[in-house]
Amino acid sequence: MRSLLFCAFGLLISAAPAVTPSSSKIAGDYVEVRTASVFTGACHYNGELVTTGNDALAAWNFQSGQWNGVDLSGVRAVAAITSTANLGLDSGERKAELIVDSSASKAQVAAVADLLQTRSAKQLGQIVSVRQAAITFSHDSTDYVVKAQGVANLTVRPMPNNECCKQPHLVWYTPLAPVAKRKVGYTEHAAYTAGTVGDSWQREGENSAFYGAFSF
């Protein structure tokens, strides 16, 4: 009888689902700016495709969720991404610098870096630098304003009348993060000043942004 019980217990263990790293749905606000227009005419798009668009800034404001057992609520992060080709092409070699808000714990910094490298490796490339700096991420009913002290800043406004939704054939590329119901934004100003993973750059006055709610 005892041998039968042990056998049955062994069958139950083998049938149990595999245990995965502790995580829960991770969500929050997201905005990115590229060095190329994401909503424009075909001729303008084709001209930029081979001349620019190699760089981007992406920013996350984590509102909920855990990764590997670490709570990410309230964490803010910015990634500066650069590629040897336009980010709309898969042919370029990509790399990224990750900045996490200075208020985050070391465990949160490590968790965010692992999350993005695991879930967005293709979009971001290899994360070659991770450091902390003061980050502010403001999203009111309209604008997004993000500042990573000494590294980068961006201000993005919604496009008037949701033009990107009314003319979807003029939207090029897809966001660098999983965004639900993404919108195209107007970049009032964006700049990457650190120059750690690429040259410093700045852009303004163009439809070069995506924004929305992200989830992993």
Residues 155 and 142: their CA atoms lie apart, in Å, by 11
Please count the CA atoms within 13 angstroms of the CA of 12 that sit on its side-chain side.
Answer: 6
pTM for this predicted structure: 0.87
Residues ≥6 apart with Cβ < 8 Å to 96: 79, 80, 81, 82, 124, 125, 126, 127, 128, 197
- List the one residue out of 192, 193, 189 whose CA is nearest residue 204: 189
- pLDDT tens digit at each of 216 positions of the chain: 444 333 443 433 334 333 344 557 999 999 999 999 999 999 999 999 999 999 999 999 999 999 999 999 999 999 999 999 999 999 999 999 999 999 999 999 999 999 999 999 999 999 999 999 999 999 998 899 999 999 999 999 998 776 566 678 899 999 999 999 899 999 999 999 998 999 999 999 999 999 999 999
